[in-house]
A and B are shown apart, each in its own frame.
Chain A
């Protein structure tokens, strides 16, 4: 029989492949971004160090502030509707014969190809020419900032709603039925049971979704890329897309790295704040 210490070492080795790949392709870029952000670099010619100039430019870049505003607005739309819809649907299907089917159906959009999904969305919902425009008044979301944002929000909700419903539903099922029974015996009406017994017990689920949702709100720009390309007039240019545009359409990789660094700090702050929030529960 081998010593425990040797076995410990062996278990450490088991973690090595995953750590190795994450080290090279996650942690190393994570640190390198700081160095890249001090370069002027187009990706084609050799980089040229420029110190903190990129950051100085970023702070005075109106597009950056506009993107920050768009991201904030996007989160403000997505988070409450994501939470409310997840809870509502989880309540509606709880214990119904079609519960499993609905969960399966709602989960599907998150798995299928974004490219394909956005093609279907575009041909269905394009203003004037879309298939639905023939018998529904489709707002001109390619021209009006408000509706463009609504479209991106709807697409994001469509993709992730199934996940939210699963989370709420899993917590809903974990509520002991005795609690609900006891409240009923004490004369609480169904609405009161929901409001004062079930909803407070769902707090962990709501907090968890809030964490997942805000990370999502900060990162989600594939929908923007495929549906609106940040337009019209930059109304849907969220920070993630702003960085993509800088790096790979304007070929200013150093500047894009500086914007990435700022976005990373923001994400970490949000994650930290939420970690605190989750601990308190």
Chain B
């Protein structure tokens, strides 16, 4: 009974993923027949149709902006977390930013980007995300679980603060940095509304492009599922690689 319930919940949660993977290879005849269970079929046509719509350049563009954001976010978080760990009293500042969801600031952020003349440039997709209080929190929690005597010992050996951070502390929290980086990448990869308003079609990320594709071809589920599947794949692979780390880093952050 208990097992059946858990199994049912997991199945319901994963169903959209199974469906996405299945529909991506479904021939259009079956999709348009109105009854998707009327027959089975396998085709790569949906994937092929993505190329003329301009899928691949979008994918690579998104990979590089989200990758750059993840790297920068982890770096600024590493530095800030080290400052916090050493007793710089800024915790309240980060907590405050954590309490205000960034989505709420969409309108004023648009105005500020307008003032800075960053609208419709790739910088609009990069700079606002170079620091995140959530990433700071994750890295800080990881650092707090290390013994502070490590730092003191390195200081007695004459190492400077930058060296202590990068060659003593950073390697020890590296797994958490990776997990925080994956989460930062995923959060940026998933943005839909912000890129849509901050940049023009030229710099649309993959997510905005897919939302637009769904508007243009609302009935072509094969095509939409293929796009959805391929855009999910990078995150899915990252998650599979680091699943244990990510879940543990998260658990560490909620215990404290």
Contacts and interface: CB of A to CB of B under 8 A. Distances in A.
Interface of A: 7-8, 10-12, 14-22, 24-30, 32-33, 36, 43, 89, 92-93, 96, 98, 100, 102-109, 111-117, 119-124, 129, 131, 134-135, 158, 161, 163, 166-167, 169-171, 174, 208, 215-216, 218-219, 221-222, 225-226, 240, 243-244, 247-248, 253, 256-257, 260, 263-264, 267-268, 271
B105 interface: yes
Given A17-B131, A89-B6, A166-B254, A244 B106 contact: yes
Size bin of chain B's contact surface: 35 or more
B114 interface: yes
Q: Name the residue among A92, A113, A163, A267 with the largest chain B CB count within 10 angstroms.
A: A113
A22 B73 CA distance: 11
Contacts of A112: 17, 186, 190, 232, 235-236
A211 to B, nearest CB: 8
A116 B84 contact: no
Contacts of B221: 123
Task: State the 6 A-B residue pairs at the shortest beta-carbon distance, nearest first.
Answer: A116-B228, A219-B101, A21-B131, A29-B108, A18-B80, A15-B83
Contacts of B236: 108, 112
B167 interface: no
Contacts of B63: none
Contact of A7 (B108, B161, B186, B207): B161
B246 interface: yes
Interface string B173-201: 00000000001001001101100110000
B13 A105 contact: yes
B77 interface: yes
B5 A92 contact: yes
Q: Name the residue among B16, B106, B190 with the largest chain A CB count within 10 angstroms.
A: B16
B17 A114 contact: no
B70 interface: no
Contacts of B250: 107, 163, 166
A89 B93 CA distance: 34
A92 B211 contact: no
A115 to B, nearest CB: 4
B209 to A, nearest CB: 9
Contact of A116 (B13, B128, B210): B210
B111 A106 contact: no
Given A107-B246, A124-B19, A240-B104, A208 B10 contact: no
Interface in B142-181: 161, 165
B82 A131 contact: no
B254 A208 contact: yes
A92 B6 CA distance: 7
A29 B10 CA distance: 41
Contact of B101 (A27, A174, A215): A215
Contact of A21 (B3, B19, B76): B76
Contacts of B229: 116
Contacts of A12: 83, 88
B255 interface: yes
A18 B192 contact: no
B214 to A, nearest CB: 6
Given A123-B221, A243-B107, A89 B9 contact: yes
B254 A247 contact: no
Contacts of B136: 18
Nearest to B103: A219
B47 interface: no
A28 B109 CA distance: 9
Contacts of A244: 106, 193
A111 B83 contact: no
Nearest to B196: A248
Q: Name the residue among A116, A163, A170 with the largest chain B CB count within 10 angstroms.
A: A116
B83 A115 contact: no
Given A106-B13, A109-B13, A116-B231, A33 B19 contact: no
